[in-house]
Amino acid sequence: MFNLNVDIDINSGFCFGVVYAIEMAEDILEEEGKLYCLGDIVHNDEEVKRLEQKGLEIINHEQLSAISDSKVLIRAHGEPASTYQLALENNITLIDASCPVVLKLQNRIKNSYDKEEKIYIYGKHGHAEVVALLGQTNNNAVVFQDLEELDLAELPREITLYSQTTKSTDKFYEINEVLRENGITVKTNDTICRQVSNRDKELRNFATAFDVIVFASGTKSSNGKVLYKVCKDQNTRTYFVSSIEDVKAEWFGMNERVGICGATSTPMWLMEDIKSHLQKL
């Protein structure tokens, strides 16, 4: 027995947008026993498995085209207008669980596009939220993950800048500063979700308070990869796990303090299961 002292980070776990989507899905599954979801409802395999056992079926856009007369959940990331049009044509009832923060961002980008502004979006290429944002501009906005992707000399002298909701606030404002230093007038729209962006600051403090950190996240979670690195930078004895099966006894020593934390897509029940497992080692 290692006699580990284990604590879970109280700030970890689902963000409110994911909670909203999962609660909506569970309500329908309880009533009807089946529900389609367009894409993984959350980037966590363990939580997806739990909901699939209740009757959730994950589909992609190609499969959506072949469905009619059914209910389909739109996850927190949101969807472009083309998805809503397809649903209308196929008599699909959309259960819209788009995060309110994401919906607000979509509306602002659409308004900028209607005004014919030059729109640039700081975000991850191909990410579901970014795909939906691009859809508000008929895919005419420019998406970039790093300033190195842009030729600053060739950029319009006046642009409108947005960000994916889960990006770093500090990095977003660094980008603003560099653009302005290069003579570009930037109409800045800070649409970053503070519940997500503040997590890195909270985790820096959390990671230094323990001998070992167990970071729980799905392998598909972009947010998880970023926050894991935040912890690892503060505490070299930080380990990434997706399930209890990933936990290794050799990571721990006698009477050590262990902190468990996770991404905004990591369910609290999973972190609690890991805690119970560690206390039995």
Sign of the CA dihedral with 178 first, then 199, 225, and 161 last: negative
Q: Which of 115, 71, 104 has the alpha carbon at shortest distance from 190? A: 104
CB of 198 within 8 A of CB of 166? no
CB of 218 within 8 A of CB of 242? yes
Catalytic residue among 47, 89, 129, 245, which?
A: 129
State the angle between helix axes of 199-207 and 222-234 in degrees (0 to 180), rounded to the nearest 10.
40
Has 129 been annotated as catalytic? yes
Record the tokens describing residue 75, joined without a space. Answer: 């996850």
Strand partners, 6: 258
Residue type for position 196: V
**H/E stretch holding 83:** helix 81-89
Q: What's the rounded Cα separation, in Å, for the pair 259 and 238? A: 9
- CA-to-CA separations, 88 to 75, 77, 179, in angstroms, rounded: 18, 20, 41
Strand partners, 215: 240, 261
CB of 252 within 8 A of CB of 223? no
- CA-to-CA separations, 63 to 37, 39, 59, in angstroms, rounded: 11, 10, 6
Maximum Cα–Cα distance for the chain, whole Å?
65
CB of 261 within 8 A of CB of 222? no
Catalytic residues: 129
